[in-house]
Amino acid sequence: MSDVGFAGKPDPVIRAGSSSGNFSRGFRETGEVMGIRGENTIEYHPRLSDRELERRLDRHGAFFGPKLKGEGAYFIIRSPLPAAIAPEPPARPGSLESRWFDSDYRARELVHDISGRHYAGDAVPSAYLNFGSGNLAGLFSPSYRLDEETIWFDDSPPATDIREIPLLPLDFDGRLFRAVSDTIRKLGEISKGRFVLGMTDIGSNLDVLFSLMPKERALKDMRKNPGGMRNALARVTEGYLEYYRRCRELMGGPKSPVSAFNQMVFRGHYGKVMSESSVMISPAHFGEFVLPTVERQATLLERIVFNLDPVGHARLLPGILGSEFIRALEWNPPDLPGDDTGMGPKDYGSAETARFANSVLESGKKLILRFMLPEQAVELAKKIPSDGVVYSIHARDPSEAERTWELLRHLTAT
């Protein structure tokens, strides 16, 4: 990795080091910023030396290996930089549509996000594209919903009958996937040696299907037309796999590293699978209809992480833990009181937390805990085993990030 964030002659603007291998300089440049032309000044603060980056990538790569005693926990600890040295944000387009479909802006926004963070512990700088869980459904349907934080499923399904789903075309030439692919290309040009590209949420199985036809009708078809349901889910799953293949090729193929929303980084084909709509069905129907789609995804994805809500999915947990194709679970607890954005710290303080985590770990699966505050991570680390657990922690500043890293490393080692 170069110690200069941009091409051209840099001007040093800060001096800040850390015990976890971060560089001691940052640079500012105006005009053409990391290959993207713009009027805003963007400061890019290089993060990791080549040796430190490789150490962390090796750590990440070992996560999906055999669960070994003494493996230890993984700590993905990030924090914002102090305001005095934080980079200037790019000029924000006025319309919500432009904020999603202007690939220049999307790339600059992601560079800004990466540049404005400190990375401690096992954290690796990565650009998570986040085009939202509804963007695969948007390729099946001309109707989708743009929100501030995500592209979501629309309430205007293109089909009325389960038999129509296998006939729906996938539009990889349309505006939505073009925005995804253009943003990947722009980031690919500037990411080498600086950060890892992250796979967007794609959406799969029932979540996509229930947006393509009235969900009440689909639920009835599980009982009355199970063959039609399997055919429809097969069409959605093939769409997922084609979407993934195209994105992964744009990212450099399976030999290049790739990350996901949970900030874990691997080479090869790795993806997160979710099925929020499964809370509406029985464990028997989950096993009959949803788990076979995961098995089909596993023909491409060597490593599958299943995202779950521990409350809504609790009765489905035996099927999830029993699947040989699911290697790890990504935990998504409710938001803390007062935060309903879905993007803030989560409530890890319930009485069920440690018991739930222990049941996952005892099954032999690994566990990824997202959106944790430092104090939550410290408390939970006292109650559950360390091996095979990822703590994704949002510290408030670099100093807290480094202190948390040292404390957790000591706590889990003893």
Instruction: Return the domain boundaries, the chain.
Output: 125-262
| Position 146 pLDDT exceeds 50 | yes
Fold of 125-262: TIM Barrel (3.20.20)
Q: β-pairing, 303-308 with 328-331?
A: parallel
**Which of the listed ranges 16-30, 103-117, 310-324 does the model predict with the highest average pLDDT?**
103-117
d(CA 15, CA 388): 35
Rounded to the nearest 10 degrees, the angle between the axes of helix 226-250 and helix 205-212 is 110
* CA-closest candidate to residue 389, choices 349, 362, 351: 362
Express each pLDDT in 124-140 by its tens digit.
999 988 888 788 999 99
Q: Average pLDDT, stretch 279-295?
A: 96
Q: Check residue 344 and give its pLDDT.
A: 59
Give SS3 for 231: helix
| Position 181 pLDDT exceeds 90 | yes
Express each pLDDT in 254-263 by its tens digit.
889 899 877 8
Q: Check residue 21 and give its pLDDT.
A: 44
Residue 391 belongs to what H/E stretch?
strand 389-394
* CA-closest candidate to residue 124, choices 36, 1, 25: 1
341 vs 140, residue with greater confidence: 140
Cβ neighbours of 120 (radius 10 Å): 27
d(CA 114, CA 132): 19
